[in-house]
Every structure is written in C-alpha cells, then in structure tokens.
Structure 1
Amino acid sequence: MADLCVNLVPLFNALPQDEKMQIEKLVQHKNYQKGELAIEPMGSKNLVIVAQGSAKQYTLDEGGHENILQILHTGDYVGENWLFGQENINNYVETTEFSEICLLKRRDLVQLMHGQPELSIRLLELNMDKVSKMQTQIHLLTLPKVEDRLLEYLQAYADEIEKNSFALPLKMKDLALYLGTTPETLSRKFALLEKQGRLKRKVRQIKLFQN
C-alpha cells in the first residue's frame, strides 16, 4: 500500500516522520481472505491494524455464538491491551472481506517505547477512550428494545458532532451488529421511529427531531 500503516493509527500521529518510519519497519503486512482469523485467543500479543478492508472483533459465549465487540474498517485497530501484557482469553479478529492487515508485535513495540516514553502516555490515553466507547455499547445492549438502542445511539452521535442532521457513520449491517440485531430488524425500527416522528431518514442521511 502507498501509505504507512502507522499513519492509520492515531496513537502514532504526534511522532515525527523518522520515528514513524522506525515503527513501520517493525510492522508485518499480511493479506487475509474473507473469514480468516487475524487474531485468536492465546495467540500472539499483536496490535492489529486494518490497512485495507474490514474485520470484526468478537468473543464466543458458551453456546458458541458470536458477541460482536466492534467492527473494524480501514484505519481501525485493536490490541492495545495485549501489547501491554493482557492475555487474550476470548477475543477473535476475523476479516469480513479480503483485507490487508498490519501486525505489530508486543515485544518489538515495548523495546521501542523504552526509548520513546511519550508513546506509552499516548497509548494509555487512547486506550481509555476506547474503553469508554465499549462501555457505551454495553449499556446500549442492556436496553431490551432495539428501537431504544437505535435512538440512543443516534442521539449520542448527534451530541458528539453537535448536529441533528448527519450521515450514518456505520453501514447498516455494521450498525445492526453493533446494536445486537439484524439489518432487517434495524430497517423496521428506523421506519417505526420515523412513523413516531422521532427522526427522518433518507438512505443513510438522518435528521433527528427533539420531543
């Protein structure tokens, strides 16, 4: 790919170009077919960067059903906790289309951070932000009605960007996974909320109305 994998990760944005190049030299580039695992439990402690394509991070319950944690698109990444020694007990990262994945190994990054302590601080800040977002998703999934999950998600996004009219940040299938439902059910709930006068939708364009 033309761009550096490290340029896709906000963690490395504050670093000068020569230091980014040092990190890029540590990165392994791999191509995965749809449905291949880039990470599985008790595997290597890697930072996983989606250079091109998409993937899903999930856990499995006792019945073997997937619990989606997040949908990863180009520029997204996962694995900060594993880089700092946390064991991956039940996390999978599986590509959902042909994808180029960049892998950065814990031992390589830790060695680099000994000489760049500001990198450790930045990583901690971003990790706290991701934990907060995952807690928000967990809260949404506790709501019994899908329409309540959807409306609360949309309102939170509107508050974040300070606009009541916006384009959906996720594709319908990805939003359905995020909210623990199906695209078909999600479409019905959009129609329900529109009928109730809570929003107006045209394809991916959304306008929220305050009650």
Structure 2
Amino acid sequence: MNLMADLCVNLVPLFNALPQDEKMQIEKLVQHKNYEKGEVIIDPTINDNLVIVADGNAKQYTLDEDGYENVLQILHTGDYIGENWLFGQKNVNNYVEATEHSEICLLKRQDLLKLMHKQPELSIRLLELNIVKVSEMQKQIHLLALPKVEDRLLKYLQTYADEIGKNNFTLPLKMKDLALYLGTTPETLSRKFALLEKQGQLKRQLRRIELLEN
C-alpha cells in the first residue's frame, strides 16, 4: 500500500463522500514526489494535474510583467489546487511553489476524469467545494483593493472574528503566510499590528489576538 497516497486521499475533502474501497481506487492513480523550498511544482507549461499537499506548505502565485509575484493563496497540509485545470481550463500564468520541504501528491486529469465518469457524486462534490474556494478568493481580492496594509489587516481580523463568533482568537495563519495573503512583508505586518495596538483596535500576544470595542 502506498501510505503517502492514502494520506493524500484521506486529507482532501473532495473525496470524503466516497467509500474507502473507492478511495483506494484513487490511491492507485496518485503519483507522489518530494519538493524542496523554492522548487516549482506547477508552472504555465503544466495544466493537467490536481496538486495535493500531503505534508508541508506551498504557495500559488502569478507573475506580472515585471516578474513580481502576486500570491493568490497559501497551501498547507491537506490543501489542493488544480480542479479547474482538470476540466480543461488552461494554466496561463499560475505557479505553485514549495515554501518548505514538502510531500506533494499529483493526480492527472485523464485519470481523474475517467474515475468521475464512474462516480458522478464526485463531480457534485467538486462543484460545491469550488464555489467555496471562489468565495474565499473574492474575499482576498476585496482586501487587496484596500490601499493601506493596516486597513487590510484590520478587515481580515474583523471578518475572521465574525466567522467564528469570537473577538479573542489565535491567528489561523502563520505571520509569513498572513503577510503573503495580505500582499505585504512580515516586517511590515508586524509594524501594522503594533500600529493597530497603539490605536486601541486590538491587543496582541504573539499569534493570540483580541479585538477591542471602539
């Protein structure tokens, strides 16, 4: 048994609706590879793979005309990307890069499409999850439209607090990942946290945050 492939299948919500014997069918289709920090997993020449992070972290980004990275999302263990490519969408300007030593599982478009013809519920599940991912990306786009980093940060924190129903919480992202998500650097992010704390917007103890009433 390929234990890493089994780990991939069980981590991805896309396959949760399937019984174990059908998950094992997917396991047989999965290829697994190790990538080091800074190594590119997907580039615009590759557009037929579902990429699953079995262990580690990666980032998805595009490059502008000056070669500057625009980070679209941070991928952690259990995250995946590439479902749109599986349905024929061309990868025009997307890169996926390991941000630390990572174990990656790859599922080819042709193999998954064959399976989906046999398992229609998989197509429905994929559509539902894709809607959720689009919604999350729209939230990030709205944040990046705010010109000031401190406004992006405060809006992100307020939105997360509303989602969990608490004003006191631990940041769900590491500082470096949150900085990428908000389109800034960890150093700038730390300064903006200090600014918001000075303004009486929040209290912070490492990754523990308390939003204050104004």
Determine which of 82, 87, 99 is the counterpart of 1:96. 99
Query: Structure 1 CA distance, aligned partners of 2:22 and 2:47?
Result: 24
- Verify the 8 A CA contact 1:42 1:87 in the aligned structure 2: no
Q: Which amino acid aligns with 1:76?
A: D
SS at match of 2:22: helix
Query: Structure 2 CA distance, aligned partners of 1:81 and 1:49?
Result: 14
Shift of 1:141: 0.5
- Verify the 8 A CA contact 1:44 1:105 in the aligned structure 2: no
Shift of 1:42: 2.9
Per-residue Cα deviation, 1:83-124 (whole angstroms, up to 9, x for no partner): 111100000001111111000111100000101101000000
> How many residues are paired up?
211
1:59 equivalenced with 2:62 (yes/no): yes
Cα pair distance change 1:37/1:193, threshold 3 Å: same
Residue range with higher mean Cα deviation, 2-11 or 187-196: 2-11
Shift of 1:161: 1.0
Query: Structure 1 CA distance, aligned partners of 2:190 and 2:10?
Result: 35
Shift of 1:210: 2.5
- Verify the 8 A CA contact 2:61 2:70 in the aligned structure 1: yes
Shift of 1:14: 1.5
What percent of counterpart residues are identical? 81
Determine which of 148, 151, 155 is the counterpart of 2:151. 148
- The equivalent of 1:13 in structure 2 is 16
TM-score scaled by length of structure 2: 0.96
Superposition pairs for residues 46-85 of structure 1, below 5 Å?
46-85=49-88
- Verify the 8 A CA contact 1:58 1:93 in the aligned structure 2: yes
Aligned CA RMSD, in angstroms, stands at 1.0
- Verify the 8 A CA contact 1:83 1:106 in the aligned structure 2: yes
Determine which of 7, 28, 38 is the counterpart of 1:35. 38
Shift of 1:188: 0.8
SS at match of 1:114: helix
SS at match of 2:66: coil
SS at match of 2:144: helix
Query: Structure 2 CA distance, aligned partners of 1:42 and 1:136?
Result: 28
Long gaps (5+) in structure 2? none
TM-score scaled by length of structure 1: 0.97
SS at match of 1:104: strand
- Verify the 8 A CA contact 1:59 1:67 in the aligned structure 2: yes
Per-residue Cα deviation, 1:41-62 (whole angstroms, up to 9, x for no partner): 0314111001011111000000
Long gaps (5+) in structure 1? none
